[in-house]
Amino acid sequence: MSVSKILSQKIKVALVQLSGSNPDKMANLQRAATFIERAMKDQPDTKLVVLPECFNSPYSTSQFRKYSEVINPSEPSTSVKFLSDLANKFKVIIVGGTIPELDPKTNKIYNTSIIFNEDGQLIGKHRKVHLFDVDIPNGISFHESETLSPGEKSTTIDTKYGKFGVGICYDMRFPELAMLSARKGSFAMIYPSAFNTVTGPLHWHLLARSRAVDNQMYVMLCSPARNLQSSYHAYGHSIVVDPRGKIVAEAGEGEEIIYAELDPEVIEAFRQAVPLTKQRRFDVYSDVNAH
Ligand SMILES: NC(=O)CC(=O)C(=O)O
């Protein structure tokens, strides 16, 4: 596939590391608006903005239903309308972190990312496929499946610059979603995320860099800032990794915006130098899911 199809031009991205787990949804939305406005003033050539996982609700299994919204483009809920208006106002693509989603047909709750184009149209959504259910001795226990249901699809979004894949947090531990999007021609994988102070130091950078190197694509992880008043302490360290596995931008632990320029030449040059896509041996591992 020619590079012009993967990413049509250089694009600036902004990852907005907002304070996490605050109980006031409208205040969280307003804060997102303030930061997006700041990003667009600081770097007006920004084409794509990413928000964190659960950016407008507590990250807590007992709270997801209370904060959930029905995602129906013809009857936009509070967060859908808010982010759609922001995308349209600033003429920027927004990967709107995640919000708890209620499916009115099944009464199930999902952890869902909603994505808007520059005209404010909802161009896709991703329901977290792999739920964060872990018990790490002397570390952390968390069971999203207490109240959430898993999504059933991988997600690749089409934009005027090219395609990118979306996963959510724990999804990044499963390389298959990123690989699927890469094979559909994506230039990047974007994960609104909320690792914690146990697993963050162990795996955050490793996983971001691994998904980038596996697929020779950009990888972006956008975390909430650390909030020690909340029950869940997010890791922070929102990060952009290039297709060579090099970290090109990284936040600290507080509220912050980080920027990076994605360059099609970097993708092309590295894919030519290390031509993994031409060297794959699906004749050998076509049955990878058979065991
Ligand atoms: N919160 C998550 O979904 C994932 C996480 O914290 C981890 O994988 O570690």
Q: pLDDT digit of tens for each residue in the chain (291 aa)?
A: 444 479 999 999 999 999 977 899 999 999 999 999 999 999 999 999 999 999 999 999 999 999 999 999 899 999 999 999 999 999 999 999 999 999 999 999 999 999 999 999 999 999 999 999 999 999 999 999 999 999 999 999 999 999 999 999 999 999 999 999 999 999 999 999 999 999 999 999 999 999 999 999 999 999 999 999 888 999 999 999 999 999 999 999 999 999 999 999 999 999 999 999 999 998 998 877 665
Tokens describing residue 211:
């998904």
SS3 assignment, position 153: coil
SS3 assignment, position 147: coil
Note whether 114 and 99 are within 8 A (CB): yes
DSSP strand E in 148-265: where?
Answer: 155-158, 163-166, 186-192, 218-222, 239-241, 247-250, 256-262
Ligand 1 atom nearest the C-alpha of 173 is: 8
Among protein residues, the one with the nearest Cα to ligand 1's atom 5 is 195
CA distance 211 to 188: 10
CA–centroid distance, 273 to ligand 1, in Å, is 33
List the chain domain ranges.
11-278
Q: Determine which one of 47, 53, 144, 253 is catalytic.
A: 53
SS3 assignment, position 25: helix
CA–centroid distance, 282 to ligand 1, in Å, is 30
Q: Is 136 left (phi over 0), alpha (psi -120 to 50) or beta?
A: beta
- Is domain 11-278 classified as CATH 1.10.760.10? no
Ligand 1 atom nearest the C-alpha of 144 is: 3
Ligand 1 atom nearest the C-alpha of 168 is: 3
Q: Which of 126, 145, 193 to mutate to test the pocket of ligand 1 (most atoms within 8 A of CB)?
A: 193
Q: Which of 61, 135, 145, 169 to mutate to test the pocket of ligand 1 (most atoms within 8 A of CB)?
A: 169
Tokens describing residue 92:
């920027």
What residue spans of 148-253 are helical by DSSP H? 175-183, 199-215
Residue corresponding to tokens 């997010």:
234
Give the helix/strand (H/E) hosting 101: strand 99-103
pLDDT number for residue 1: 46
Tokens describing residue 48:
């794509």
- Catalytic residue at 222? no
CA distance 120 to 70: 18
Residues 6+ apart with CB under 8 A from 199: 134, 136, 139, 140, 235
pLDDT number for residue 113: 98
Angle between helices 199-215 and 175-183 (to 10 degrees): 30
Tokens describing residue 165:
């894949």
pLDDT number for residue 179: 96
Note whether 190 and 95 are within 8 A (CB): yes
Name 249's bridge partners: 240
